[in-house]
Amino acid sequence: MKLSAELRAFEGRLGHQFARPMLLSQAVTHASMSSANRDDNQRLEFLGDRVLGLVMAEALLALDTGATEGQLAPRFNALVRKETCADVARDIDIGAVLRLGRSEMLSGGRRKQALLGDAIEAVIAAVYLDGGFEAAKALVLRLWGDRITSVEQDARDAKTALQEWAQARGLLPPDYVTVKRTGPDHAPVFTIAAELTTGEKAEATAGSKRNAEQMAAQALLAKLESDT
């Protein structure tokens, strides 16, 4: 099959030319667009998640030969979580080439974190099937780039770190309060406050509650550390 001009341009952004273009076409086809003659990317996403995990595990082991499993695990989780995958997908504008059904398109599917994260994993699988593990590894290392070397030495999520900070001081776990929600249903924006029983708090705004909570926890941690 011949790829559209958009997918040929996307090939260029990936840095991989497909011997089997059908794999790339499938990788960017969401379930809402599948049919009897067109496979969606769910099976590829399943495979790509495993390929990504292997590449990242190998990269982290090579990067820090003295790290323990307890140190490596949170770094690994930070690199393969859906938010990170979605950020990588945005870097190469995968949303522009996603094939979506009408309802998914109208609901802002090209910007949805879950769809973007699944799509980049499907693309990784497509490259793996087309060019083998070394091609997929090269793709992942190139796309993730500095994220791998700059992942925090202790990559526990901010909510966990804040809870541990509170517990170490005999405090109850922090509360997360929705201060405000704005925007349409398909693209909501949340403002969340992270609060301790001692009165300290910080707010953050993001496109999902989870991200807003993480950002608020990080902001509160930074505030607490600057006060000590």
Rg of the chain over CA atoms, in angstroms? 20
Closest by CA position to 164, among listed 74, 68, 83: 74
Instruction: Decide if 136 contacts 122 (C-beta within 8 A).
Output: no
How far apart CA 51 and CA 129 sit, in angstroms, is 11
Q: Is 121 a catalytic residue?
A: yes
How far apart CA 54 and CA 1 sit, in angstroms, is 31
Q: Is 104 a catalytic residue?
A: no
What number of residues does the chain have?
228
Instruction: Decide if 130 contacts 23 (C-beta within 8 A).
Output: yes
Catalytic choice (104, 121, 130, 213): 121
Distances, alpha carbon 28 to alpha carbons 22, 93, 121, in Å? 10, 12, 10
Catalytic choice (40, 49, 130, 213): 49
| Residues acting as catalytic residues | 49, 121
